[in-house]
Chain A
Amino acid sequence: NAGVTQTPKFQVLKTGQSMTLQCAQDMNHEYMSWYRQDPGMGLRLIHYSVGAGITDQGEVPNGYNVSRSTTEDFPLRLLSAAPSQTSVYFCASSYGQGGETQYFGPGTRLLVL
């Protein structure tokens, strides 16, 4: 199993550009989520999904869009990048939405100029 994979590993964008951060898991997990990590802030939840076709907002959803057409994939879209979105983004998945262990991907470092 590859676990949770994320692409790209690193990306530089200009303000106003759009891009999609990819996340895939091969563990047949129903629950997937996106977090951003900023220095001194810990991780904050952006969006999550409890299954294909179902998504919901987390703590910091503004400026981000998600969709879940398959169990395996959960892409995160930045519609118009802003410098405030410079961060490290982590995707995570788990079998369920209770106390199950969430497995994290290696992260995507995004720099918005």
Chain B
Amino acid sequence: AQSVTQLDSQVPVFEEAPVELRCNYSSSVSVYLFWYVQYPNQGLQLLLKYLSGSTLVKGINGFEAEFNKSQTSFHLRKPSVHISDTAEYFCAVKAGGGADGLTFGKGTHLIIQP
């Protein structure tokens, strides 16, 4: 079984400042890693994913994440945030080759302060 820990339930940051949202995972098998964003009263939208290859993954809206196998981490970063980035962010893992779905973290609420 897999598990995901998002270390911060809430992250306040000033507009145009950089941000990092932390995600650690646990799994006995190889995994695929995902970051999803949820805007208020909406469904989830994929930001980026890591399947294999380069450990630095670039996604939509200027976000990127780095896969670190030795630290079992997949932290999400953005160099300069905007008010429109205010949302809930979810890290998720899926066992490679498994048929079951995504295992999600509890989410991090990103609050952008003007």
Contact = CB atoms under 8 A, between A and B. Distances in A.
Nearest to B42: A106
Nearest to A32: B101
A74 interface: no
Given A42-B106, A99-B49, A90 B43 contact: yes
Given A42-B107, A104-B44, A106-B42, A99 B100 contact: no
Interface residues of A, number: 25
A41 B44 CA distance: 15
A48 B106 contact: no
Nearest to B91: A42
Contacts of A99: 32, 49, 51, 94, 96
Given A40-B9, A43-B90, A102 B43 contact: no
Interface string B82-107: 00000000101010111111111111
Contacts, number: 63
Contacts of B104: 35, 42-44
Given A101-B46, A106-B43, A41 B101 contact: no
B68 interface: no
A82 B99 CA distance: 29
A107 B106 contact: no
24 contacts: A35-B101, A35-B104, A40-B9, A40-B106, A40-B107, A42-B90, A42-B104, A43-B90, A43-B92, A44-B104, A58-B100, A58-B101, A90-B43, A92-B101, A97-B99, A98-B32, A99-B94, A99-B96, A102-B46, A102-B101, A104-B43, A104-B44, A105-B43, A106-B42
Given A40-B107, A48-B100, 15 more contacts: A35-B102, A35-B104, A43-B44, A43-B90, A43-B104, A45-B100, A45-B101, A45-B103, A58-B100, A58-B101, A90-B43, A97-B98, A99-B94, A104-B45, A107-B43
Interface of A: 4, 33, 35, 40-45, 48, 50, 56, 58-59, 90, 92, 97-99, 101-102, 104-107
Closest 9 CB pairs of A and B: A42-B104, A104-B43, A99-B32, A99-B51, A104-B44, A45-B101, A42-B106, A43-B104, A33-B101
